[in-house]
Amino acid sequence: MTILTDTETGERMKMSYKPKSVFRLYTDSNIDDTCTVELFKPHTLDACGFNSSHPLAIIIHGGSVDGMMENWISRLASALKSSEGSINVVIADWLTLAHQHYPIAVQNTRIVGQDIAHLLRWLEDFKQVPLGKVHLIGYSLGAHISGFAGSNLAVSGKTLGRITGETVLSAFKFLEHDKNLYLFLECLILKDSHLRMLGLWIPSIHFDFYPNGGSFQPGCQLHVQNIYAHLAQYGIMGIGDLNQTVKCAHEYAVHLFIDSLLTKDKQIMAYKCSDNTAFEKGYCLDCRKNRCNTLGYDIKKVHTGTSKRPFLKTRSHMPYKLFHYQIRIQFINQTDKIEPTLTVSLTGTLGESENLPITLVEEISGNKTFTFLITLDTDIGDLMIMCFTWEGSPMWAKSSRGPQLTVGKITVKAGETQRKTAFCPQTDDGMYIEPSQEKVFAVKRRERSSSRSRG
């Protein structure tokens, strides 16, 4: 009778495990080709060119309607390879389990999480791959799977290096519950209101980003607030538009992550804030004490409190980066209540902006300072000139008895550089602005944001 050692018994038990997922390693020779790594078959690792000295990224897709791999998966794999070079990129292909009714696909995420945990234990044992160098990138239900993989590994005291999740769905709570099982965990949250039927749940993790407030994303055709009106008008024929809007908004975070790999010179900055309303008012462009961070692959891996979360605005296409500016304007002794129809333009050492509307939600009266946020597509450099226009009623223009705006202190803070600039009027008539008049303000002084800056 043959007596097996504990090690041999363990190996036999491993060999008896049959994964339901397929692990496809992207090859260095051709990014469009993949090579299948078979669990517990070491020769497949060598045949596929797996390099145990390189970091490992595993891309985990979500549920599938048509049973096909979505285009973003190969785009993300290609971006990882082209950006990082020396990296193993694996696709966790669970299409046979994902191409099911949604509740069944959700149940199957536990199986796939277990498959990935087995893969990583095997790689650690056989190839000495440190789990601290493993990065799981999970999209939608793939974020659920990432949480299950981490939980499976935690049973044997293992800790993953990093998880990036892009999701709107409730089961991301598995990551929230076990966030201490990972060295670093971040999530890009898209919280479209029409997806609440799927059980939206907003986690609190190391970093959970809210691009464009986490709601409507630029470039997605059908605004979420118009969905019910759209369906009422077009009936079942409008379902196609709704599906495309959902797909566009849901995938938006993936493309932001790809963008962070391909446009290293245009990294998107996010700023911690209590909520999106405060962010839209420009209160939160402060980078002290890790209050801002880079979105995407090159995020600063720092752990901060979760009372505030990073918000940001982006463009509708690559490169997605926008430049954020906080503008503070003081109005003095305003006796007439003035409708807040204002525009501003900025000129810097590298260019100038177009006229941008200023959104104020209340009338201008008394002595009050308004703070608001504007964004620009391009870097205009160090600020030099600010043009300010009050779009008042034409009947008030050039009237000696017409209302005037009396402007006090004006400052502009650039979020990306943290540089604060103060402006003063360029003409002799002081700080008075009449309806339809463009007032030019020039730089008074410029100071780098420091401990004096209040953000």
Q: What pLDDT, in 10s, does the model give residues 175-209?
A: 444 444 445 555 665 443 332 222 223 333 456 77
- How far CA 319 is from CA of 62, 145, 329, in Å, comes to 25, 29, 31
Q: Which residues contact 10 (CB under 8 A, 6 or more apart)?
A: none
Residue 267 clears pLDDT 80, i.e. is over it: yes
Domain count, the chain: 2
Using DSSP's 3-state secondary structure scheme, residue 387 falls into strand
Co-location of 239 and 377 in the same domain: no
Q: pLDDT-derived band of residue 368, with 50, 70 and 90 as boundaries?
A: confident
- Per the DSSP assignment, residues forming a β-bridge with 314 are 321
Q: pLDDT-derived band of residue 31, with 50, 70 and 90 as boundaries?
A: low
Task: Determine, yes or no, domain membership for 304.
Answer: yes
Out of 286, 312, 338, a domain closes at: 312
Domain range for 421 is 323-448
- Range with lowest mean pLDDT among 34-48, 106-120, 231-245, 335-349: 231-245
- Can you tell me the mean pLDDT for 36-44? 94
Query: Is residue 94 within 8 Å of residue 277, measured between CB atoms?
Result: no
Between residues 256 and 108, the one the model is more confident about: 108
Task: Determine, yes or no, domain membership for 265.
Answer: yes
Residue 397 clears pLDDT 70, i.e. is over it: no
Give the helix/strand (H/E) hosting 318: none
Three-point CA angle 120, 126, 129, nearest 5°: 50
Co-location of 73 and 27 in the same domain: yes
Q: Which residues contact 61 (CB under 8 A, 6 or more apart)?
A: 69, 70, 73, 91, 92, 93, 94, 95, 98, 139, 140, 142
Co-location of 211 and 343 in the same domain: no
Co-location of 76 and 165 in the same domain: yes
- Can you tell me the mean pLDDT for 427-444? 81
Residue 165 clears pLDDT 90, i.e. is over it: no
Task: Determine, yes or no, domain membership for 174.
Answer: yes
d(CA 116, CA 106): 16
Three-point CA angle 34, 37, 39, nearest 5°: 160
Task: Determine, yes or no, domain membership for 453.
Answer: no
Co-location of 270 and 372 in the same domain: no
Q: Please report, for the domain that includes residue 440, its CATH number.
A: 2.60.60.20
Co-location of 387 and 358 in the same domain: yes
Between residues 181 and 20, the one the model is more confident about: 20
- Per the DSSP assignment, residues forming a β-bridge with 93 are 22
Co-location of 158 and 23 in the same domain: yes
Q: What is the pTM of this model?
A: 0.80
d(CA 265, CA 351): 18
Task: Determine, yes or no, domain membership for 432.
Answer: yes
Task: Determine, yes or no, domain membership for 216.
Answer: yes
436: Cα within 13 Å, side-chain hemisphere: 8
Q: Please report, for the domain that includes residue 161, its CATH number.
A: 3.40.50.1820
Cis peptide before 319 (omega within 30 of 0): yes
Co-location of 334 and 185 in the same domain: no
Out of 259, 279, 312, a domain closes at: 312
Between residues 397 and 427, the one the model is more confident about: 427
Co-location of 76 and 188 in the same domain: yes
Residue 452: per-residue pLDDT: 40
Q: pLDDT-derived band of residue 4, with 50, 70 and 90 as boundaries?
A: very low
H helices then E strands: how many in the chain? 10, 21
Task: Determine, yes or no, domain membership for 168.
Answer: yes
The identity of residue 4, as a single letter, is L
Co-location of 24 and 173 in the same domain: yes
Co-location of 80 and 127 in the same domain: yes
Q: pLDDT-derived band of residue 32, with 50, 70 and 90 as boundaries?
A: low
Q: For all residues of the chain together, what is the average pLDDT?
A: 78
Out of 255, 287, 312, a domain closes at: 312
d(CA 51, CA 161): 18
- Can you tell me the mean pLDDT for 220-245? 47
Residue 275 clears pLDDT 70, i.e. is over it: yes
Co-location of 185 and 270 in the same domain: yes
Give, as one character, the DSSP assignment of residue 3: P
